[in-house]
Amino acid sequence: EADIYQTPRYLVIGTGKKITLECSQTMGHDKMYWYQQDPGMELHLIHYSYGVNSTEKGDLSSESTVSRIRTEHFPLTLESARPSHTSQYLCASSEDSVSPYGYTFGSGTRLTVV
Amino acid sequence: GEDVEQSLFLSVREGDSSVINCTYTDSSSTYLYWYKQEPGAGLQLLTYIFSNMDMKQDQRLTVLLNKKDKHLSLRIADTQTGDSAIYFCAERYSSASKIIFGSGTRLSIRP
């Protein structure tokens, strides 16, 4: 059972609106990640964090921003949504000290901007 | 640079074996993973293998690792309709590094 939660699961919103996608984990993991997944399946890392007050941009440039004020919470914000932001957003976390050091993923938020 | 490649699609008949292949470029990879993504869901760790192993079997799943050729495969025996999903191959250099994912293979099952 997943211990990482994303809300909302689905969101349809108008162009220009500000939105925040929530991601919370109860496992005490230091590292957290945001991926954007296109309909073509490929995962693109857009943000990651290695701990509180630490955030980095990922491999794919994104207009979104993130914050990490608490270990368990890693929200992603779009200040002004556009149709090009329509995608599936996946949050993940990991713990370096526990083999096999894999990522735990949330169920995702499917965002549609109209 | 790091890169993980997979074929995009695989179609198999129900009851047959499925073999999903993956190649990676980082010869220093220490951990290799297979993740499964069902429709509308996140990724779930299916199985993994450490680089000092050649093979790992877990019920219907068999993972084969050829380090010389940097080739990883996942075999699913007696494929069922519930195995329909996207399968991601992934590698990790160390416990402290990020995981690099392949582009995913969509497995479809035909009756």
d(CA A114, CA A19): 13
What size, in residues, is chain A? 114
* A34 has a chain B CB within 8 A of its CB: no
Q: What is the DSSP string of A45-96?
A: EEEEEEETTEEEE-SS--S-EE--SBTTB--EEESS--GGG-EEEEEEEE-T
**Contact criterion met (CB below 8 Å) for A57 and A8:** no
Sign of torsion, CA B38 B43 B47 B50? positive
Q: To which residue do tokens 């955030």 refer?
A: A55
For A2-16, A68-82, B93-107, which range has the lowest pLDDT when averaged over its residues? B93-107
CA distances from A81 to A31, B19, B77, B102 (A): 26, 40, 44, 28
User: Which of B40, B45, B106 is closest, CB to CB, to A102?
Assistant: B45
Query: Phi and psi (nearest 5°) for A99?
Result: -65, 145
Q: C-alpha B2: how far from its chain's center?
A: 17
Contacts of A102 in chain B (CB under 8 A): 31, 33, 35, 45, 48, 99
pLDDT of residue A61: 84
In this model, does residue A73 exceed pLDDT 60?
Answer: yes
**Contact criterion met (CB below 8 Å) for B13 and A70:** no
* C-beta atoms surrounding B42 within 10 Å: 22
d(CA B99, CA B38): 20
pLDDT of residue B27: 79
Question: B93: pLDDT confidence band, cut at 50, 70 and 90?
Answer: confident
Name the more confident of A90 and B26. Answer: A90
pLDDT digits (tens, 9 = 90+) for B19-78: 999 999 887 888 999 999 998 899 999 999 998 999 999 999 999 999 999 999 999 999
User: Across the interface, do B42 and A105 touch by the CB < 8 Å criterion?
Assistant: yes
Task: Return mean pLDDT, chain A.
Answer: 93
Name the more confident of B11 and A99. Answer: B11
* B96 has a chain A CB within 8 A of its CB: yes
Residue A91 CA neighbour count, 13 Å, CB half:
30
In this model, does residue B2 exceed pLDDT 70?
Answer: no
pLDDT of residue A9: 96
pLDDT digits (tens, 9 = 90+) for A39-50: 778 999 999 999
pLDDT of residue A74: 98
pLDDT of residue A2: 55
A43 Rama sector, left if φ>0, alpha if ψ -120 to 50, beta otherwise:
beta
Burial A89-111 (b: 16+ CB within 10 A, else e): bbbbbbbeeeeebbbbbbbbbbb
What's the whole-number mean pLDDT along residues A61-72?
94
Question: A38: pLDDT confidence band, cut at 50, 70 and 90?
Answer: confident
User: Across the interface, do A103 and B95 touch by the CB < 8 Å criterion?
Assistant: no
Question: Would strands B9-13 and A54-57 be described as parallel, antiparallel, or unpaired?
Answer: unpaired
Question: A1: pLDDT confidence band, cut at 50, 70 and 90?
Answer: low
Name the more confident of A38 and B83. Answer: B83
